[in-house]
Amino acid sequence: MSDGNSGQQFDRLPSTPDEREVEGRASRREVVDWWTERFAVPPETFDGIAFWEKGAGKVWAFAGEVDSPVRIEGLGMAFMRTRQEHWKPTTEAAQRFGAEAERNVIRLTREQADRFVAGEDQAIDWDGDWGYLIAAHGLAGTDAPLGVGLYLHGELRSRIPKGRRREF
Amino acid sequence: METLERYRPVIDDFEAFLGACRRPLPSAVRVNPIKASVGEVTAAFDEAGVGWEQAAWNDRVMTVDTDRPGNTWPYFHGWVHGQEVVSSLPATVLDPDPGERVWDAAAAPGSKTTHLAALMDDRGLLVANDSNLGRLSALRSNAERLGVTNVAVTNRDARNFSLKPFGGEPFDRALVDAPCSCEGTIRKNPDALDEWDLRHVRGVAGVQKGILRRAVQATREGGTVVYSTCTFAPEENEGVLDHVLGEEDCRLVETGLEVECAPGVTEWEGEEYDESVRKAARIYPQFRDTGGFFVAKLEVTA
Ligand SMILES: C[S@@+](CC[C@H](N)C(=O)[O-])C[C@H]1O[C@@H](n2cnc3c(N)ncnc32)[C@H](O)[C@@H]1O
C-alpha cells in the first residue's frame, strides 16, 4: 500500500480509475487513452509496458517487472507529465512512441528541423489542434519524430530540453 | 608508453603493439535496433555524406568518418550510440535473451547497458547499477535517448548489492564491466597512463574481485557471468578470474567471439593462474585497429 505520493519512490499506476488509491494519480487506462486520443497511437503500442509515478505527476514507462513501490534511482524512461491541465510527453517518449502517431504530428522541413532541435521557436502554418504536438522530419525514408513542440498562435515552440539540443 | 614495457614478455610482436597504441582510434558507433535498422542508419549517414564501415563480426558495429558522431541526425534520434568497437564485445558474449533478468553491475555511463537492452528486445528486467551517482545520470540520459524502457537503475556498491528490490530472485546473467586502470584506452586518451601506479592496479584488483564474486553469487545455477576490462594488466584480468574461480561456484567457458584475440595468460611475474583462464580473450590494438580489451565468460555451477 502506498501512503500517498513520494518523490523518493516509484509507484505503479493503477490499471483503471476505479482502482485509484492515491488522489490525483493517473491510471494506466487514462494514459493509454490519452495517447490514442491526442496522437492516434494504437493502444497495443504499449503492450507489456507499465506506467509508474515518482514525484507528483511525473510518469515513467517501464517494460520490466518489479514490485510496487520501489525505491531506486530510475525505472525505465521518463515518459510524460500528468496532474496538470495539459498532459505533456517527454522528448524521449515522442521519439520512441511517436513514430506510431497519426494525429497532431507536425512535419518539418530540414531547415525547420535544424531550428527545432536547436531549441528555437518559429512561425509555422498548421491547421490542426493547438497544444502539444509531435514534431517530425523525413530521414532515410522514415518519418522520424524529433520531440515535442507547443503550438500556439501560429508559432511552434520547441520543447527540446537544454541537454538534448543540437546545432547542426 | 614506458608503462606498457611490462607486457613485452606476454605480447607477441610487441613493436606492432606499441605502434598501434600510438595511433589515434577511429570513431565508431553501434546501431540501436530499438529505434532503427542498419539500413536506415547507413542511409542517414549517406544523406549526410558521412562515410561508414561495418565491423566484420557484427554489422551493427561500424566505424564512421567523423570526429563528432554526436553531432549527426542518427545520434540525435537515438538510432546510434557512439561507442568504441571493442566496447560491443561484452554484451555480445553475455548474449541475453528477451524476457530474462540481467544485472549490469558497473554500468555507467551505459554503453553496455543499452547494448544489452537491445539484445533483449527491450523486454525482461535489466538492472543497471553503479556506485557513482553522477555517472548514473549520464547512463539515464543515454538509455532514454536510445529509447530503452526495460532498465531499472540502482546506486549501490556492487560488492554488497542487494536483490531485495527485485524480489530476492537471482539473475539469469550478469555483466561485470569492471573499473580498471584503463590502459587499453590509450589510443583514445593519450594521457591514460600518466597516473599509472602499481599500487592502484593492486587496489582496483581488490574491488574487481569483490564485484565479480558478488555477480557470481547473484546469478542462478547454470547462468552466465561476463567479466571485462579495458586494461592489459594480468593482475586485473586473469588474476581476478583465478581468485574468483577459487572462491565461488563457477567455471570458465569459451567466449564464442569471432574476433582475432590472444588467450588469457597463465603466468605473470611469478604468479601462476588456473589453466582455464586461457579461455578468456585478450584483444590487442594491433589485431583489428581497435582499443585494447579483455573479456571472459563464466558459467555459474551452483
Ligand atoms: C569501466 S566503467 C563502466 C562502463 C560501463 N559499463 C559502460 O559500458 O558504459 C566502471 C564503472 O564502475 C563503477 N564502479 C567502481 N567501483 C564500483 C563498485 N564498487 N560498485 C559499483 N560500481 C563501481 C565506476 O563508477 C564506473 O562507472
pLDDT tens, N- to C-terminus, chain B (302 residues):
789 999 999 999 999 999 999 999 999 999 999 999 999 999 999 999 999 999 998 999 999 999 888 999 999 999 999 999 999 999 999 999 999 999 999 999 999 999 999 999 999 999 999 999 999 999 999 999 999 999 999 999 999 999 999 999 999 999 999 999 999 999 999 898 998 999 999 999 999 999 999 999 999 999 999 999 999 999 999 999 999 999 999 999 999 999 999 999 999 999 999 999 999 999 999 999 999 999 999 999 99
Position A6 scores a pLDDT of: 64
Nearest-CB residue to B152 (from A72, A78, A92): A72
pLDDT at A5: 63
Cell 502506498 sits on residue:
A2
The residue count for chain B: 302
Indicate left, alpha or beta for A104 from its phi (over 0: left) and psi (-120 to 50: alpha): left
Q: Give me the residue spans of the domains in chain A.
A: 10-97, 104-164
pLDDT for residue A15 = 96
User: Residue B230 catalytic?
Assistant: yes
Which of A49, A95, A97 is most worth mutating to test chain B (most B CB atoms within 10 A of its CB)? A95
B236 ligand 1 Cβ < 6 A: no
Residues A79, B103: Cα–Cα separation, whole Å: 23
Q: Three-state secondary structure along B176-215?
A: EECCCCCHHHCCCCCCCCCCCCHHHHHHHHHHHHHHHHHH
Whether the CB of B207 sits within 6 Å of ligand 1: yes
Taking CA atoms only, the protein residue closest to ligand 1 atom 27 is B108
Q: How far apart are alpha carbons B56 and B246 in whole angstroms?
A: 36
Judge if the beta carbon of residue B130 lies within 6 A of ligand 1: yes
- Say what the pLDDT of residue A168 is: 86
Nearest-angstrom CA–CA distance, B183 and B241? 19
CATH topology of domain A104-164: 2.30.130
Phi then psi for residue B113, to 5 deg, are -55, -50
Q: What is the pLDDT of residues A85-121, one digit of tens each?
A: 999 999 999 999 999 999 999 999 999 999 999 999 9
What are B152's strand-pairing partners?
Answer: A75, B127
What pLDDT was estimated at residue A2?
A: 43
Residue B234 backbone dihedrals phi, psi, to 5 degrees: -60, -30
**Residue of B21, B180, B182, B230 marked catalytic:** B230
Across the 168 residues of chain A, what is the mean pLDDT of every consecutive 10-residue run?
65 95 95 98 98 95 96 97 96 97 97 98 96 98 97 98 94
Q: What is the DSSP string of A99-163?
A: GG--SSEEEE-HHHHHHHHTT--EE----S-SEEEEEEEEETTEEEEEEEEEEETTEEEE---GG
CA pair distance A114, A110, nearest whole angstrom: 6
Provide the β-strand partners of residue A53: A11, A59
* Ligand 1 pocket test target in B130, B133, B139 with most atoms within 8 Å of CB: B130
Contact predicate A17/A30, CB 8 Å: yes
Are B63 and B56 within 8 A, CB to CB? no
Residue with cell 535473451: B97
Burial code (b: 16+ CB inside 10 Å, e: under 16) for B206-216 equals ebbbbbbbbbb
User: CB atoms < 10 A from the CB of B67, how many?
Assistant: 10
* Ligand 1 centre distance from Cα of residue B87 (Å): 14
**What is the pLDDT, as a whole number, of residue A4?**
58
DSSP β-bridge partners for residue B153? A74, B128
